[in-house]
Chains A and B, each alone.
Chain A
Amino acid sequence: MAKDAEKSTWKDFIWNSRTREFCGRTGSSWGLILLFYLVFYIFLAGMFCLTMYVMLQTLDDYKPTWQDRLGTPGMMIRPRGQAMEISYNTTNTETWDMYIKTLDNFLSPYNNSLQAEKNEECTPDQYFIQADSGDVKNNPKRSCQFNRTFLEKCSGLDDHTYGYQAGKPCIIIKLNRVIGMLPGKDGQAPFVTCGAKKEDSDKIGEVEYYPENGTFNLMYYPYYGKKAQVNYSQPLVAIKFLNITLNEDINIECRIISNNIPPGSVRDKFAGKVSFKLRINTKG
């Protein structure tokens, strides 16, 4: 009995034919309340749009308002491999072919012809500052050439396999772009240095840096943002392992050495440094 009563009240709640109520409200009641909420939300959405609009008006198109998180620029390698792990077999082309393709793709904008066409030659070893004069923006801003040939043996021009086939792979290192960053003071350019982690230190062998000493030339800084500086070419450093121990995992860490880049957060493994694992197999 009780159950029946309960059932009927449930049914009554959903559709009460006597009072013509659906879920406890009549049609006109539903209409009114929905209309109220419609108006309410339109108003809210309007207010949201207004505040967002006001906020967007405060933004500068060329430079973010704050750069709180970007004190220490991140570093990254190419090719990235699977989860910062580069391993291949010299005898098996397929295992390293994708690295070659990645590098080819990555370096194609740096072809000398393209660079010459779009960018200009700047004075090295000094910041390439293009200041705005007051409200008049000095846009678009010009960029300096970074020619693929700067990477010499790692440019992939002479050796199309970037040394992968020979077991002397090239890894390209880049420093994350941060608007307005000046990565060295007193004319001292930042440079990259790589080393193996402790237990692997004798296995890394000789490492060569291109451009010389692994420096990022100061003329590529500061960066003015993708809108002002459309053709910006990010400077690169390539490292080549000349006689790395084969058939073993080797943990390598590269870090940027600069006199004004603060050491990044302990928790950020990619702020001002980059670690990766390299394994070159020779046996089939």
Chain B
Amino acid sequence: MFEMNGEVDVKMKKKKKIKKKDRLEGMKKEMDIVSVIHKTRRRESWREYGLTSSKAAEVLERDGPNELLPPKGTPEYVKFARQLAGGLQCLMWVAAVICFIAFGIEFSRGTLGCFDDLYLAITLITVVVVTGCFGYYQEFKSTNIIASFKNLVPQQALVIRDGQKNQINAMDLVVGDLVEIKGGDRVPADIRIIFAQGCKVDNSSLTGESEPQSKTPECTHENPLETKNIAFFSTTCLEGVATGTVINTGDRTIIGRIASLASGVGNEKTPIAIEIEHFVDIIAGLAIFFGFTFFVVAMFIGYAFLEAMIFFMAIVVAYVPEGLLATVTVCLSLTAKRLARKNCVVKNLEAVETLGSTSVICSDKTGTLTQNRMTVAHLWFDNVIHAADTTEDQSGQSFDQSSETWRSLARVAGLCNRAIFKPNQESLPIPRRIVVGDASETALLKFTELAIGNMMEYRERFKKVVEVPFNSTNKNTLMLSVHELEDPMDLRYLLVMKGAPERILERCSTILIKGQEMPLEEQWREAFQTAYMDLGSLGERVLGFCHIYLNENEFPRGYKFDSDEMNFTTSGLCFAGLISMIDPPRATVPDAVMKCRTAGIRVVMVTGDHPITARAIAANVGIITEGSETVEDIATRKRIPVEQVNRRDARACVISGGQLKDMSSEELDEALRSHPEMVFARTSPQPPSSPPLIIVESCQRLGSIVAVTGDGVNDSPALKKADIGIAMGIAGSDAAKNAADMILLDDNFASIVTGVEQGRLIFDNLKKSIAYTLTKNIPELTPYLIYITVSVPLPLGCITILMIELATDIFPSVSLAYEKAESDIMHLKPRNPRKDRLVNESLAAYSYFQIGAIQSFAGFTDYFTAMAQEGWYPLLCVGLRSHWENVHLQDLQDSYGQEWTYAQRLYQQYTCYTVFFISIEICQIADVLIRKTRRLSIFQQGFFRNKVLVSAIVFQLLLGNLLCYCPGMPNIFNFMPIRGQWWFVPIPYGILIFVYDEIRKLGVRRHPGSWWDQELYY
């Protein structure tokens, strides 16, 4: 065994050399090694003695503790540094450095106002650092969620060392340790079973299969995941006891390897990340382009090098939307918060939007589409199929329970049942109570509890004498028990039996019809066959029930029943009926699937179940719609061989795991393309060829944005590969949650639809926010361009620009995230990630060249007004710059012949900044109002419906007033208390923006597809 580990180590080293792409292949090879391991010789002596403590310590030293190490993350400081080094951030660093240099030079010259440069540099750095911290915190918080999940279950293990049983921390387990597990324990490492008694494990955390697997010492399969003698780390032992030796610990366990495989699968960039990157690149490029152009122009005009550098810096500051990344982050986290309230926890913020652009959802069946609990769905007695209530809250219709046969059937179902409720759950509704027992017995117990009442007490009354349980090892597919009757006077025994219907029927000679025992004639046999087929075709698991009153004389009180010898009647029984069970779909799912369909999203079901069950559920929830046929359906209908059916005629398709394995990727692509309704059934859970992963890759090849739901560890590669991985909060394993971008706390498929809706809404709203944010860059930029080219006194300062970007305009741009959808977004097709960009040409053109231009004119009007009313006529301003900024000129004449000192002119310049600022603010209020809608008239959308937006406008005005009129502002942020009249100068332009946009929207609505629509709709 140790040699084997050595080999594994060599393999691991080799693996590091293998490129990430080849890791899947590497994984396959490693699996082979595991299958070799389980065949290695046993060492009988360990069975009693185990390892010695010293040996264990030695191995522990060598292998490290038995725990899953989180995937090796990038160091924290690197993460933080990355947040500080984005495209825009780098530009801001450059701007800050230029500011520092300018400050240094000007300070040494003793220029008045040189500290502005220092403040600006500090502000710029603060902005970069604060946004960085913000982003870092988001990232940190999302990893923190996982940490909290991980710490939920502290593990203990019962280990035999030095011949003694010890309870130790599972972390200290080493390869070769002898461990004991019993029902309720989590398997503390990968172990090979050497002794088992009725041991069943729940592999759902690993493979997603909810069926318990029995574990025995025999090696039954080549594949380690299929063989019965290996139990896996992190799975749960449901019942029985087992002893085994540890064959792998920590990251070398199957689960550990899958996790490390998952971390190796490249995480796809989210569509929104691609959008934002694309857009930031353009902005940064344009900023450098503008800055450099005007640097050259300034040098050419004859400005000093330092001045030209300051211009460059100022243009960068003016053009870069500093607040944008923060706005986007805040908008996304608002939606994430909203989703969290609806049970979707978003780990990766950008995933919020991804869900909106999703075009295919690969959904796991168990637990997501279905309730993940077997429930009685149908009963057959009195030759009629009755439907039981399968809803989660028992709100559905129940069947007629007056028949005598029903009572007998219920009695059999209730008595021939080993499942029991865990104690102290009386306050819980019956369906929610926790039961000890297998799935079908649980279903029957809950069903009878609901139908008859307190089953525990009921069973007390019919005292159990003997029972022969299901036993898969001796192929006994029946279960029977013998009970005393509740009536103490009646001394007969009652034998009740359940099992596979055909086997039950074999043992029966009579049948209960309307309470009367009738001979089992051919007519009833045929009726039974029809009912059995019908229920089977619904994908339900059918059980037959029968009973017999044992003859009082033959079996008197005190008769010794022997479960091994079976010394009692087991034939000639009386057939009571059939009960069929299914894991029913969640009530909300059919509706949600329907919504997905109208929203243009394909739902593909992936399940480990039998194709018939899978199909039935798919049809039930609407994944396969009514009237859709599979190739096989058409073949049966037309009575022709399957090969002759035109595959394109079939809308639906059920592909089993075996077929999938044999398909080439082209065939799979073709199948996905030609059949809109797809179900993948009986998919083998083996990870290297994990079906979801293949399906995801195929869908992505076809250009879809794929969402994948999953809970098992084996799903984690697919979760990671998917554009958005959705893990289940309740059933999901840590590895799945770690790999996923989103976690559904209630495991409910319907929550995904909510997510889709929110994702689409946030895409629309982000568009609006960005359009709003971008608009003001033009009125921020033009003052510099005019300043450089026409040499007017500077209309707008850098610090003022930063105040707009980072203070007054943040709240309104965020408030757009609260805007309601303009149309029914769930009736539109998912956006095409290649065509429907977040920031497209017309959005930029409309914001920059139209609304931005209007705002610039508003700013200049107000600027010239403020200048003229204080004594500086517009024509005098032109070319005034060199005199205006001459520090030694203390008696510059204005248009009226008055003389101004430098400081007076500087404060006048600050007044201009403030006036320009106010103009932008007024126009931005109009802007935020028009951005509420892209197509509808604002009167249709409602002015005050978005309360947050209204308060944002109020906030913006208050903040503007504070900046203007708070004492001390002139020398801190270069804001001056301005004349009230100047607030009103830009209002005509605000109205113009509003009216113009209403005209635009009217044109867009009236003439869809016209030139106007194409050019002006963003």
Contact = CB atoms under 8 A, between A and B. Distances in A.
Interface stretch (B456-464, B513-521, B780-788, B887-895): B887-895
A67 B870 contact: yes
A48 B985 CA distance: 11
Interface stretch (B307-315, B823-831, B899-907): B899-907
B58 to A, nearest CB: 54
Interface in B854-885: 854, 857, 860-861, 864-865, 868-871, 873-874
A53 to B, nearest CB: 11
A70 B905 CA distance: 10
A246 interface: no
A74 interface: yes
Contacts of A55: 861, 864-865, 868, 985
Nearest to B899: A176
Contact of A70 (B864, B869, B904): B904
**Best-buried of A37, A56, A69 by chain B (most CB within 10 Å):** A69
A265 interface: yes
A165 to B, nearest CB: 26
A179 B891 contact: no
A48 B860 contact: yes
B939 interface: no
B134 to A, nearest CB: 35
Interface stretch (A58-66, A90-98, A111-119): A58-66
A226 B897 contact: yes
A66 B869 contact: yes
Contacts of A59: 868-869, 873
Interface stretch (A5-13, A39-47, A129-137, A194-202): A39-47
Nearest to A51: B861
**Best-buried of B860, B903, B908, B988 by chain A (most CB within 10 Å):** B903
A157 interface: no
Contacts of B895: 64
B868 to A, nearest CB: 6
Contacts of B901: 74, 176, 268, 270-271
B868 A267 contact: no
Contacts of A232: 897
B979 A176 contact: no
A76 B989 CA distance: 42
Nearest to A268: B903
B957 interface: no
A76 B890 contact: yes
Contacts of B865: 55
Interface in B966-1018: 971, 979, 985, 988-989, 992, 1011, 1015
B289 interface: no
A80 B873 CA distance: 27
B245 interface: no
Contacts of B979: 66, 68
A21 to B, nearest CB: 14
A227 interface: yes
Given A70-B898, A265-B903, A48 B849 contact: no
Contacts of A14: none
B671 interface: no
Contact of B891 (A36, A44, A176): A176
A227 B1011 CA distance: 55
A52 B904 contact: no
A225 interface: yes
Contacts of B902: 268, 270
Interface string A129-169: 00000000000000000000000000000000000000000
B900 A176 contact: yes
Contacts of A37: 849
B850 interface: yes
Contacts of A66: 869-870, 979
A44 B857 contact: yes
B903 A267 contact: yes
B949 to A, nearest CB: 27
A84 B112 CA distance: 14
A234 to B, nearest CB: 9
B2 interface: no
A68 B866 CA distance: 11
B440 interface: no
B335 interface: no
Contacts of A176: 890-891, 898-901
Given A37-B849, A65-B869, A74 B897 contact: no
Contacts of A56: 868, 873-874
A48 B988 CA distance: 10
B853 A41 contact: yes
Contacts of B890: 74-76, 176, 270, 274
A80 B900 contact: no
Given A51-B988, A52-B864, A267-B971, A225 B897 contact: yes
Nearest to A65: B869
Nearest to B903: A268
Nearest to A45: B857
Given A59-B869, A267-B971, A225 B907 contact: no
A101 interface: no
Contact of A74 (B871, B899, B971): B899
Contacts of A65: 868-870
A175 B902 CA distance: 14
**Best-buried of A45, A70, A84, A226 by chain B (most CB within 10 Å):** A70
Nearest to B860: A48
B874 A52 contact: yes
A36 B894 CA distance: 40
Nearest to A272: B901
Nearest to A63: B896
A255 interface: no
Interface in B827-858: 849-850, 853-854, 857
B112 A267 contact: yes
A240 interface: no
Nearest to B110: A83
B911 interface: yes
Contacts of B904: 69-70, 74, 268, 271
Given A176-B901, A268-B901, A64 B891 contact: no
Interface string A232-270: 100000000000000000000000000000000101111
A280 interface: no
Nearest to B1012: A36
Contacts of B864: 52, 55
A170 interface: no
Contacts of B908: 69
A278 interface: no
Contacts of A73: 899
Interface string A173-207: 01011110000000000000000000000000000
A69 B902 CA distance: 11
A68 B888 contact: no
Contact of B888 (A62, A67, A80): A80
Interface string B532-553: 0000000000000000000000
A253 to B, nearest CB: 14
A67 B854 CA distance: 29
B900 A33 contact: no
A225 B864 CA distance: 20
Nearest to B977: A68
Contact of B900 (A47, A52, A70, A223): A70
Contacts of A265: 903, 907
8 closest residue pairs by CB, A with B: A226-B897, A268-B903, A74-B901, A176-B899, A65-B869, A64-B871, A270-B901, A270-B890
6 contacts: A36-B1015, A64-B871, A66-B869, A68-B870, A70-B898, A271-B901
Given A51-B985, A66-B869, A176-B900, 10 more contacts: A41-B853, A47-B857, A48-B860, A55-B864, A64-B871, A69-B904, A69-B908, A73-B899, A76-B890, A225-B896
Interface of A: 32-33, 36-37, 40-41, 44-45, 47-48, 51-52, 55-56, 58-59, 62-70, 73-76, 80, 83-84, 174, 176-179, 223, 225-227, 232, 265, 267-271, 274
